[in-house]
């Protein structure tokens, strides 16, 4: 094997640290290489881009605590998503609907402080996993 450059060694060190600490969600390359272009053909470049952005954003907020019923669900509210991503609040529901229609997330509502809260479970679709 060829000797690594200083930059390559640093990349691998940082990647290994992230993996060891569990500070990641695996995002298959096919999501950007194949799925994004497919979605752009259907929904347009801006909506496809922003839907994928929300998809990866939700992965970052998945609850990893196995001890409760919210395990594997993300539950940021629309204001949090808007503030964190810069996507206008009126666009979030239609973008989430794209993800639902494309089987990239499940959603459900739960009772929450006398109201209800939307929960999101980002999925790894077979289309992405197969790289099709």
Structure tokens at 9: 């060694």
Structure tokens at 67: 């001890």
Supply the pLDDT for residue 80. Answer: 97
Supply the pLDDT for residue 132. Answer: 58
Supply the pLDDT for residue 39. Answer: 97
> Whole-model pTM?
0.87
Residues of the chain with pLDDT under 50: none
Alpha-helical runs (H) found in 1-121: 6-21, 29-30, 36-43, 45-60, 78-85, 89-101
In angstroms, the Cα distances linking 21 to 16, 18, 39 are 9, 5, 33
Q: For helices 45-60 and 89-101, give the axis angle rounded to 10 degrees.
A: 90
Supply the pLDDT for residue 131. Answer: 62
DSSP symbol at 104: S
pLDDT, tens digit (0-9, with 9 covering 90-100), for 96-125: 999 999 999 999 998 888 889 999 999 988
Architecture of the domain made up of 27-129: Orthogonal Bundle (1.10)
**Domain definitions of the chain by residue range:** 27-129
């Amino acid at each position: 094997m060829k000797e690594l450059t200083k930059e390559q060694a640093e990349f691998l060190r940082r990647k290994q640290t992230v993996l060891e600490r569990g500070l990641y969600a695996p995002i298959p390359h096919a999501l950007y290489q194949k799925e994004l272009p497919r979605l752009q053909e259907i929904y347009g470049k801006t909506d496809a881009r922003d839907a994928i952005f929300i998809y990866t954003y939700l992965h970052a907020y998945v609850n990893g605590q196995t001890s409760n019923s919210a395990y594997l669900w993300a539950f940021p509210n629309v204001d949090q998503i808007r503030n964190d991503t810069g996507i206008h609040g009126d666009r979030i529901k239609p973008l989430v609907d794209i993800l639902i229609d494309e089987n990239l997330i499940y959603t459900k509502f739960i009772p929450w402080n006398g109201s209800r809260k939307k929960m999101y479970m980002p999925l790894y679709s077979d289309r992405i996993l197969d790289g099709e």
